[in-house]
Structure 1
């Protein structure tokens, strides 16, 4: 990927919920930009894919109370100063209680400015995640926000766009910090997102948010590689995956990519023309029904993509999916915007999505059978010791404010 082989430091900046088609030019102009498919449409399973280089069906982390089996190699090397910064997202929680840190077995939060070379810095930025248009630490709950804007889709989109620029500016400030410290040429900088975002499109049934449906708007994200002697303002033509980031940065910094990963080491290799990338999601909630707690599978899907398009395969029963999506769209955080902007066409599209087992997008130049050969046969929970942790009341409140819980 680059002429330079002297990469001492890594900075990975994850702008939560930023779509590829909303990437600000101020970021695109700094390096080599590629379109990528997010490993999942849900933060809880996408973040560990970014840090481990494996798909959710491989690592088994689906929800915020799951954990990786151990700290991933990206953070588990005593030669490097490690920092995980999630200050702008999980604002109400202590570091050790922030779900992305817990998932990765990290209990101390450290910012870029606290690290000394050689280092690995991972920044989980709030990005344009709903609710839109709020300064860090000052946003209201997602449901209350969407009640205010329930019939104002153009304003919601503009607020989302402005949040993309605000997140990009926070990234640029870190990029400039590296330049001011004189270490930009020795630092591989990555800008990406954990998933995209539906913005009321009719093809997505009028939905705002992410998680479902698994569609281009929710899986197409940017990856920008900068610093480390890389050229600026260049487009990388191959379709990439979020699972490529960990093996690429580890290879650049340590001379060899880790084994047992699903991603490609882009530092030393080029993906083959026949490569197909995946996205997996399995949202499930514990719901109280007549005093009895049952697990509700809100949405479960796997998919395979290349530059021409992709196939989405829904899992679980059609009836379960229909009931769960009705619950999710009518009762949870994004519900007011969905109801307020609903049209007969959007309602029919959402019903079609719920009732259809297999979907296709674009004009895939590979067959459905080839796609089925790429996706996992089934979705299972992580089974290692400590895989499930009980969420505290404070964690549930934060997740509720972000629209993940009712």
Structure 2
């Protein structure tokens, strides 16, 4: 069985300048997700919105991302990696800035959808760019990509808590400013050479749908959709039950993000080598389901919920690296196409989960969203186990 390379390999840090440019822009782009988290209760209060209305900020974002992922390959294969990244960055900057000046929850929800479009263009292309431009192999390139996600998500809440304590508008405007920095770093650091501009053959709009004929991609996509019910229940609903101000939420999700970043880079390769991708992924998902269940039982015990949020970061960091690596090795299609097909399915889960969590809390009580999230994550473990024969091959191609 092949495995992810050990993190200690020096080749991980010996990357072309272009890889580090995308890595840096990726950190800033993923700050956007965490920046908003500490201000969700403040938005509800300032804009006189319900919890379920505020969670629609994640639903619109993920729903647009899911659909937009289907066209990212077609766009990037025509514009090239660099221009697609720049377009994504500009769209994020525009809609986050407009969000900062909005005065109603409806407008903010709509603008978050536009933000999701920009993120789709950037995220799918960034993964393809790092994997394509890296000189250390697919597995270690994915570790770099997950490290950028982890660093962005971990720093984002701290900055968001600080800016959010000044005004709920601060994090939105902060994202816009940071994306301007990312734009210029990408302009000046990413080469113009044609070999960096993605596949020569244009990718058709139907390519992601055709890729879903591969059972392995469907299995991983639906597994991620189920798992995202738990992920976005934690991300979008937990801030409402932790009983903390913007600074407090910022520090809790900083801890969550740090563990996510560290485990995605250092621990996931060791788990994959020791257990194999599928077994390690199933273990992380099962443990995450247990953590959500604990949060559902002891929702009103603050130290328990805070501890569970932070611990969940470690499980999510491991799982993100493992499942991304698996998807890149799942089917004989372009990596950008595989990423688009998989992301379409997984972000559907991310779109439904936040709003469902808010509604369940309104219909029943604050415990139910976490219990339902745990059930969905547990089903993802059962589902991947039932389809093991369709995905077990990824362990034999990882690292090659």
TM-score (ref. length: structure 1): 0.26
Q: Would you tell me which structure has more strand in proportion to its own residues?
A: 1
More helix by share: 2
TM-score for the superposition, normalised by structure 2: 0.26
